[in-house]
Amino acid sequence: MNIGPTLIKESFAEAFRMRFVRLIITAHDQYWLESAVRAATGCATSVIACDVEAGLERWLRPDQTVDGRPGASILMFGFSSDSLGESVVRRVGQCVLTCPTTAVFDGMPTAEERVPLGKYLRFFGDGYQKSKLVGEKRFWRIPVMDGEFLVEETTGIAKGIAGGNIIMQCVSPEVALNAARRVVESLAGHPNVIVPFPGGVVRSGSKVGSKYKGIRASTNQAYCPSLAGLVTSELHPDANCAYEIVIDGAEESDIASAMAKATRAAAGEGILVIEAGNYGGKLGKFHFPLYQVLADHPA
């Protein structure tokens, strides 16, 4: 299969069951909102070594938020409800509570499973915190040095999926970078998905295990241009750069539609091959065949 000059290789992405939360952060203006989002989603690229995988889902207009201020919806993914809940409290407490003018609201109010948020963070108020019940929702008002930090008592948690992906093989790093930006921009605001790596792009695609004892993952040498000719390579003979886009999402359909959109956005002059990466189908419960994804989600 080809999209324009780009070969679409018959392959599949392998993804994993995870839990996720959606937090709505608001702030006085876009500057402080972006500051909070960057901090809260920092060091959150892969659960190989991070406590969560996190990223921006979409920006929200003031008329789309509870308090009528600029907002952002962020998603955080983790292996279990307990570990994810602990990470959410820690990240909100260290990265959002500390950021001027922010407030945090639950982005999944109908979720049956819930984890504590303000219920734990309120203790920072040292007895001066106040609770407020609005309908069936409880909020906590924590005194801080610019007024009060408002946060919901709990946040919903749901089943999600992490590890959808495409891999682009390109004639040069410059072409690859331009393609990567096209992909990330095409997914901006795509509902229910995030691309958790820096700028949405992975330069260090990995394989399971290593020659070194105790290392869980190591470089995927088959896609390293500097090793072509030295190892068994999966690269096109003319490829001098490969980038991976990893996609986490709420449902299978969310990841599939995002993979289709990403593939079409990436294809073009100088993009030699696009494929999906996997671990032989033995680790992840969810498989996303690239041909099927494109067929099910036409442009």
Spell out the domain ranges in the chain: 2-14+161-296, 18-158
Instruction: For 34, list phi and psi in degrees, rounded to 5.
Output: -65, -35
Q: What is the pLDDT of residue 111?
A: 96
Do 18-158 and 2-14+161-296 fall under one CATH topology? Answer: yes
CATH for the stretch 18-158: 3.30.70.520
Q: What is the pTM for the complete model shown?
A: 0.95
Distance of alpha carbon 259 from alpha carbon 267, whole angstroms:
12
| Mean pLDDT across 214-224 | 95
For the CA atoms of the chain, what is the radius of gyration?
21
Distance of alpha carbon 237 from alpha carbon 94, whole angstroms:
47
Q: What is the pLDDT of residue 155?
A: 98
Whole-number percent of the chain with pLDDT over 90:
97
Q: What is the pLDDT of residue 212?
A: 96
| Mean pLDDT across 68-95 | 98
* CB 76 within 8 Å of CB 54: yes
Instruction: For 229, list phi and psi in degrees, rounded to 5.
Output: 95, -20
Q: What is the pLDDT of residue 80?
A: 97
Query: Would you say residue 119 has pLDDT above 90?
Result: yes
pLDDT tens digits, 153-182: 999 999 999 999 999 999 999 999 999 999
Averaged pLDDT of the chain: 97
Q: What is the pLDDT of residue 30?
A: 98
Query: Would you say residue 135 has pLDDT above 90?
Result: no
* DSSP assignment string, 89-111: HHHIIIIITTSTT-EEEES-TT-
Instruction: Tell me the β-bridge partners of 147.
Output: 144
pLDDT tens digits, 254-298: 999 999 999 999 999 999 999 999 988 888 999 999 999 999 999
Positive/negative CA dihedral, 161, 106, 88, 41: positive
| Mean pLDDT across 42-48 | 97
Q: What is the pLDDT of residue 280?
A: 87
CA distances from 58 to 25, 51, 73, 134, 253 (A): 11, 22, 5, 26, 18
Q: What is the pLDDT of residue 3?
A: 98
* DSSP assignment string, the chain: -EETTEEE-S-EEEEEEEEEEEEEEE-SSHHHHHHHHHHHTTT-S-TTTSS-EEEEEEEE-GGGSTTSS-EEEEEEEESSHHHHHHHHHHHIIIIITTSTT-EEEES-TT-SSEEESHHHHGGGGTT--EEEEETTEEEEEEEETTEEEEEESEEE-EEEEEEEEEEEEESSHHHHHHHHHHHHHHHTT-TTEE--SGGG-BSS-EEE--SSTT-SEEE-GGG-GGGBTTB---S-TT--EEEEEEEEESSHHHHHHHHHHHHHHH-STTEEEEE---STTSS-SEEEEHHHHHHHS--
* CB 186 within 8 Å of CB 268: no
* CB 161 within 8 Å of CB 17: yes
Q: What is the pLDDT of residue 133?
A: 93
What is 2-14+161-296's CATH topology?
Answer: Alpha-Beta Plaits (3.30.70)
Q: What is the pLDDT of residue 299?
A: 85
CB atoms within 10 A of CB 71: 23
| Mean pLDDT across 84-100 | 98
pLDDT tens digits, 179-216: 999 999 999 999 999 999 999 999 999 999 999 999 99
